[in-house]
Amino acid sequence: MPGRTIKVLAVAVSAAVALAGCGGGPVRTGSAAIVGDHRITISTLGQAVEDWEREFRADPRANLLRSMNPPSAETEIQNALFQLVQIRLTDEAARRAGVRVSDGQVDMALHSLDRNSRLGPASSFTRARGLPARYARDLARQAVIVGEVIRRDGDDGTGFRTLVGQTAKSLGVRINPRYGTFDPDRLIGPVRTTLSSPGSGVG
């Protein structure tokens, strides 16, 4: 069911990416992160955080939800970047596993969130996760993917965590050092000053 899927999402996706290591090599100038051949630019990340801050301040429900389940990242920009990396990894994991998600399924997940008195509405849930409301559909699609894999494997999310972990290792995840590192234990970890210095060559 969409409701159960939504509740599984926050734990399952985070745990899945926590299994993955960090890919080596430099990050292209102007990139916040690179996931396989997908580039998350610094401007995209900055705009997401700027929009989120404005929306979050005006959304009491999002503030309440966030206080109940605060992010593990050290900064808001790290959290937003992690969410954007998760979106890409989950989509790619689904593609590799042959899990197809229809627009109708995503619509149902959004509708379920909007009616959920504990987690919803979808816009507030998305802001509580650290992204502006325009990413609600991406998070709903993640929820559907989680649910499809869990139903297929008949487990508690272990199969999903393994699937996304394998995808992350295969693709490689490179984080611009100014935002931290992709740490298997701490997700996106703290900034390492020796790597984020002007001499690092990363823009």
User: Is 98 part of a structural domain of the chain?
Assistant: yes
**Residue 51 φ/ψ region, left for φ over 0, alpha for ψ in the -120 to 50 degree band, beta for the rest:** alpha
pLDDT digits (tens, 9 = 90+) for 35-50: 888 899 999 999 999 9
For residues 174-199, give the mean pLDDT.
Answer: 57
User: Is 197 part of a structural domain of the chain?
Assistant: no
Cα–Cα dist 134/38, whole Å:
19
pLDDT digits (tens, 9 = 90+) for 4-25: 555 555 555 555 555 444 444 4
CATH of the domain at 130: 1.10.4030
Tokens found for residue 126: 């998305």
User: Is 203 part of a structural domain of the chain?
Assistant: no
User: Is 199 part of a structural domain of the chain?
Assistant: no
User: Is 88 part of a structural domain of the chain?
Assistant: yes
pLDDT reported for residue 21: 43
- Closest Cα partner for 131 from 173, 167, 86? 86
For residues 45-63, give the mean pLDDT.
Answer: 96
Structurally, the chain folds into a number of domains equal to 1
User: Is 151 part of a structural domain of the chain?
Assistant: yes
User: Is 194 part of a structural domain of the chain?
Assistant: no
Tokens found for residue 167: 């995808």
**Domain assignment of residue 34, given as a range:** 2-185
The radius of gyration of the chain from alpha carbons, rounded to an integer in Å, stands at: 16
Residue 192 CA: distances (Å) to CA of 30, 45, 153: 19, 19, 39
User: Is 20 part of a structural domain of the chain?
Assistant: yes
Whether pLDDT at 195 is above 70: no
Cα–Cα dist 30/127, whole Å:
25
Which residues, in sequence order, are bridge partners of residue 187?
183
Global pTM value: 0.80
H helix or E strand, kind and range, residue 74: none
pLDDT reported for residue 104: 96
pLDDT reported for residue 153: 81
